Amino acid sequence: MGFSRGMRWMGLVCAGFGVLTAASPSPARLSLKSASVLVLDQLTGQALVEKQAEAVVPIASLTKLMTAMVVLDAHLDPRESLTITADDKDELRHSRSRLPVGTHLPREQALLLALLASENRAAHALGRTFPGGLTAFVQAMNAKARELGLSGSRFEDPTGLSSGNVATAWDLARILEAAYRYPEIRDFTTRPETTLQSGRRSIQFPNTNALVRNPRWNIGLSKTGYIEEAGRCLVMQAMLANRPVLVILLDSWGKYTRLGDANRIKQWLEARLGSR
C-alpha cells in the first residue's frame, strides 16, 4: 500500500468506508491549530485531511521513531547494560532529565524510555553505543530515510533536540507506517507508564501522550515531540470510525492544542464516516 501525494481535499470516496463530499468541512473549518496536518486511511493510503502536509519542518522528538527502527534493525543485544554518561546530557537546550549520570539500564529499557517518556539521555545513549558510535548511527538514520523514500527528511541526532532533524507530514506517515511493523515500537509507545528501578529509588515515567490513558481512544502507536522551532507535535496510529488511521499533527502552538486537534479529528471522522 502506498500513499498518494496527488490526493487533495476535494471529496474522496473510500470504497466501503463512506464518502467525504465537497460540502464537508475543510481542515480550517475543523479549527485545527496545528500548522501541518495529515490524516490517512491506513488501508487505502487516501488522505482524509491534509493541511500544509508537504512543508519541510523540524520534527523534534518524533525523531525517536527513526532512532528506534535503526536500533532494532541492528539486532543489538536488548539485555546489554548501557550507562548514562555526561556525554548524554543535553548541552544544546539544557532540557531536564530524570536519568542521572551513572544510571545503568539495559538497552531495551533505554529504548522504552526514549519512546514512552521521550527521554533524551536514553535516546542519545542508544546512538552513542551503536557500533561505530554516534556518527555511524546518524548515517544509519539517514540511510533508513532513503530506504523509506523520504524526500524531505534529514537527521542530525537521535534525540530530536537538533532543529536540523526535519521531515514533511507525508514523510512522517511513511515513518509511522514503517514503525508500526515493529511490535516493540507499538508496545513501548502505547504503555501508559513505566518504572525504572535505580538503586533504591523507583522512578515513574508517564507516557508523554495523555491520550493513551484515555479509554475513548484505541491507539496502536504514538509519539510526541517538542522543541521551540517545531512547536508541539503528535503522531499516532489509531482506530477511528472503525478503521486504522494515521494522524500527523505538527507545529501546534499551545501545550494542549495537539490533543484538542486529535479529539476534533476523531469526532469529525466518526460523525461523517460512522463508528459502526
Run of H or E including 33: none
Instruction: Establish whether 118 is a catalytic residue.
Output: yes
d(CA 172, CA 204): 29
Give the DSSP letter string of 73-136. HTT--TT-EEE--GGGS-SSS----SS-TT-EEEHHHHHHHHHHS--HHHHHHHHHTSTTHHHH
Q: Exposure string (b/e) for 232-254, b if CB count within 10 Å is 16 or more? A: bbbbbbbebbebebbbbbbbbee
d(CA 217, CA 45): 21
Instruction: Establish whether 4 is a catalytic residue.
Output: no
The region, left, alpha or beta by phi > 0 then psi within -120 to 50, assigned to residue 189 is alpha
Q: How many residues does the structure list for the chain?
A: 276
Instruction: Establish whether 151 is a catalytic residue.
Output: no
Closest CA to 185 of 211, 221, 236: 221
**Catalytic-role residue among 34, 36, 61, 162:** 61
Cell numbers representing residue 176 in the block: 509511522
**Catalytic-role residue among 64, 144, 223, 266:** 64
**Catalytic-role residue among 34, 118, 162, 252:** 118
Indicate which residues carry an active-site annotation. 61, 64, 118
